[in-house]
């Protein structure tokens, strides 16, 4: 199964070169200090070449974030096909995001405080960004008696929760299994989904987490 992402932009080799260079520059200098000259120099192209594709540095970074989001969504779908849709797939997807997003070459920038406003403005409010999130969530939840409005609300709530968890450090380290349990116990009820038995809190679980 693949996502039907009709708006996914197809980048030329030069555009990809510019986008990759922009990400490297932002990592090194921060969004405020980066200039189009920096990006052009890093990409080894003329400044006029950058301008022929992008109006300004913000547009380059937005394209980079969007392109990376498409790629990561497709990668996630391929990695979760063998996991049953619904609660199990949602748990695995969110846990995967929390573990993997900070290491994605471009999406790592979502945790950069200098880009917080840009991420907030384009993750859910643009048609392309919201389309990615909604389609991905539909894949995760599978066949379910939900209206389109409910799917959109649940997708929005899930992405907001995930960003909050990414931006704020946990008071302690969690193993992969502990992270799955944490996600299951607090996210699934909000989505009106049952918590799998192995992730329910009981005396044994509490004792293990406190130890």
Q: Per-residue pLDDT tens for 55-70?
A: 888 888 778 777 777 7
Write out the residue range of the structural domain in which residue 76 sits: 68-210
Domain CATH code at residue 184:
1.10.357
Q: What is the mean pLDDT of residues 113-128?
A: 57
The answer to whether residue 28 sits within a structural domain is: no
The answer to whether residue 30 sits within a structural domain is: no
Residue 66 Cα distances to 73, 75, 101, 182, angstroms: 11, 14, 14, 28
pLDDT at residue 84, rounded to an integer: 92
Tokens of 30: 């921060």
Q: Which of 9, 47, 22, 183 has the alpha carbon at shortest distance from 118?
A: 22
Please give the model's pTM, rounded to 2 decimal places: 0.73
CA atoms within 13 A on the CB side of 204: 4
The answer to whether residue 198 sits within a structural domain is: yes
Contact assessment for residue 108 and residue 101, using Cβ atoms and an 8 Å cutoff:
yes
Q: pLDDT tens digits, residue range 170-203?
A: 888 899 999 999 999 999 999 989 999 999 986 5
The answer to whether residue 46 sits within a structural domain is: no
Number of domains forming the structure of the chain: 1
The answer to whether residue 42 sits within a structural domain is: no
The answer to whether residue 56 sits within a structural domain is: no
The answer to whether residue 96 sits within a structural domain is: yes
**DSSP 8-state secondary structure symbol assigned to residue 124:** S
């Amino acid at each position: 199964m693949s996502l039907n992402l009709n708006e996914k932009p197809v980048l030329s080799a030069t555009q990809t070169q510019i986008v990759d260079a922009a990400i490297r520059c932002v990592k090194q200098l921060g969004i405020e200090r980066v200039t189009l000259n920096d990006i052009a120099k890093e990409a080894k192209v003329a400044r006029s070449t950058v301008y022929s594709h992008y109006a300004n540095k913000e547009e380059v970074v937005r394209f980079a974030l969007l392109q990376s989001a498409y790629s990561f969504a497709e990668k996630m779908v391929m990695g979760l096909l063998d996991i049953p849709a619904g609660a199990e797939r949602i748990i695995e997807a969110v846990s995967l995001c929390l573990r993997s997003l900070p290491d994605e070459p471009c999406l790592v920038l979502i945790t950069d405080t200098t880009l917080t406003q840009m991420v907030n403005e384009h993750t859910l409010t643009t048609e392309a960004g919201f389309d990615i999130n909604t389609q991905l969530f539909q894949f995760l939840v599978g066949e379910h008696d939900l209206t389109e409005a409910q799917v959109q609300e649940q997708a929005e709530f899930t992405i907001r929760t995930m960003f909050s968890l990414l931006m704020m450090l946990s008071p302690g380290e969690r193993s992969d299994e502990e992270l799955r349990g944490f996600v299951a116990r607090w996210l699934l009820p909000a989505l009106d989904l049952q918590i799998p038995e192995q992730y329910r809190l009981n005396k044994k679980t509490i004792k293990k987490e406190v130890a």
